[in-house]
Structure 1
């Protein structure tokens, strides 16, 4: 009795082409079986990908929460009076409760301290450093120690040098006095701005331009006598 050929077995009539097709069919069948076996693995990879994505999001959220908040700046404070008043009120309360408890601190804060923008700036950041050391999410003994050993003494020393001898009377206009302390500063040589701009923008590889005389430079607005 003749046994029927296997479906994958090419007949002699099919020739070389039939043999190639049958071999390709076996390879495809083998690949299908392998892919079926990898099904659970692919599912596991998808699960791990999702877990990694969730962990990344969690870490980003935690990092954002732990990122130190910047201290506000008095020099760049907003122009809204309510916000300025809030900054000054908060600072005055902290000075009374904390900074002025230290004798050397009380000795360097004159009655005119609020007239000195640099002094307010120093005290603002020192207040926020104290808040971070004692009340922030990362408050620690190390931060508190750094505040006592380095930050507070540094501010005290700078205030002693800058306003240690100042008084409220010195901010009053009197005959023979110059500009009162705390007046907005002027930038030396600012009148040469346009001359420097033209040189640095177009010819910085060349020698710098010669400035105008002092009399000519002061004859008009910034850069007006230099054009």
Structure 2
């Protein structure tokens, strides 16, 4: 069945069934018109069979219409499957390590209590996973985030309501190798000794966040021209490796 980007498959299917229903109605009218002639040339048995066929086809169309209506109204409940415009108002939100509520140790504990056993039983069974996961992975929230969504994708593929060989194949062929590769890029040659920052120090700073106002004016009113010229302070702070413009601070004794 074909459908365009303006309609979701359920809506397109309902439209197709509605068209079929109209065709059945037209056929029913034609049969009624033909009955008089058929009575002259065909037996009562033949006419009855034709009536039964039309009635059966009408019942089939009605059944399909009801089924498609229920399917179109049913939200996806498999974790990791409902996203964007496809997710209904009751769809379960996707979990994110980076967006867990602050001061909620129970939420953090819940995630790790699922993630740690899954890593041992599933993820680290793969050689590339063991090779790219740094021993200091818990210090890297971007790595935990990748592992969390990968675990939820695995759960949806194997155990969710929409579990299928297609989802399993996608997990093996695309999702897991992609996560393993990115984890290796996030923290090459990093180890536990590299993480010796003072406790309580802010880990993330957005470059030039305090100097954003001139960029608001530029992009809103003059984006076809060059942006604001950097100030001497911005030039000093903007040298690569300086703490002022580093998303993850430098740490003596190792790499990040």
Q: TM-score, normalised by structure 1?
A: 0.59
Change (3 A) 1:65 1:157: closer
Describe how 1:8-23 pairs up with structure 2 within 5 A.
none
Describe how 1:141-160 pairs up with structure 2 within 5 A.
141-160=165-184
| In structure 2, C-alpha distance between the alignment counterparts of 1:207 and 1:132, rounded to whole Å | 48
| In structure 1, C-alpha distance between the alignment counterparts of 2:125 and 2:97, rounded to whole Å | 23
Describe how 1:21-36 pairs up with structure 2 within 5 A.
none
Say if 2:217 is the partner of 1:198: yes
Deviation at 1:88, TM superposition (A): 1.9
Change (3 A) 1:65 1:109: closer
Size of the alignment, in residue pairs?
Answer: 162
Q: Out of 77, 92, 117, which is 1:93 matched to?
A: 117
Equivalent pair of 1:105/1:156 in contact (CA under 8 Å): yes
| In structure 2, C-alpha distance between the alignment counterparts of 1:206 and 1:147, rounded to whole Å | 43
Deviation at 1:73, TM superposition (A): 0.9
Higher Cα Rg, which structure: 1
Match of residue 204 from structure 2: 185
Equivalent pair of 2:158/2:164 in contact (CA under 8 Å): yes
Match of residue 215 from structure 1: 233
| In structure 2, C-alpha distance between the alignment counterparts of 1:156 and 1:122, rounded to whole Å | 9
Match of residue 59 from structure 1: 71
Equivalent pair of 2:208/2:234 in contact (CA under 8 Å): no
Q: Which runs of 5+ in 2 are unaligned?
A: 1-62, 83-91, 238-256
Equivalent pair of 1:132/1:138 in contact (CA under 8 Å): yes
Equivalent pair of 2:218/2:228 in contact (CA under 8 Å): no
Deviation at 1:56, TM superposition (A): 7.8
Task: Select between 134-143 and 57-66 the one with higher mean Cα deviation.
Answer: 57-66
Which runs of 4 or more aligned residues in structure 1 lie more than 6 Å from their structure 2 counterparts after TM superposition? 53-57, 216-219
> Cα RMSD (Å) of the superposition?
3.3
Deviation at 1:197, TM superposition (A): 1.9
| In structure 2, C-alpha distance between the alignment counterparts of 1:191 and 1:81, rounded to whole Å | 31
| In structure 2, C-alpha distance between the alignment counterparts of 1:164 and 1:212, rounded to whole Å | 32
Match of residue 129 from structure 1: 153
Equivalent pair of 1:191/1:217 in contact (CA under 8 Å): no
Q: Which runs of 5+ in 1 are unaligned?
A: 1-50, 175-182, 220-227
Task: Select between 81-90 and 69-78 the one with higher mean Cα deviation.
Answer: 69-78
User: Looking at both structures, which has the greater relative contact order when contacts are Cα pairs under 8 Å and sequence separation is at least 6?
Assistant: 2
| In structure 2, C-alpha distance between the alignment counterparts of 1:205 and 1:148, rounded to whole Å | 44
Q: TM-score, normalised by structure 2?
A: 0.53
Deviation at 1:62, TM superposition (A): 2.1
SS at match of 1:89: helix
| In structure 2, C-alpha distance between the alignment counterparts of 1:197 and 1:160, rounded to whole Å | 36
Task: Select between 53-62 and 136-145 the one with higher mean Cα deviation.
Answer: 53-62
Say if 2:127 is the partner of 1:109: no
Equivalent pair of 2:132/2:184 in contact (CA under 8 Å): yes
Match of residue 76 from structure 1: 99
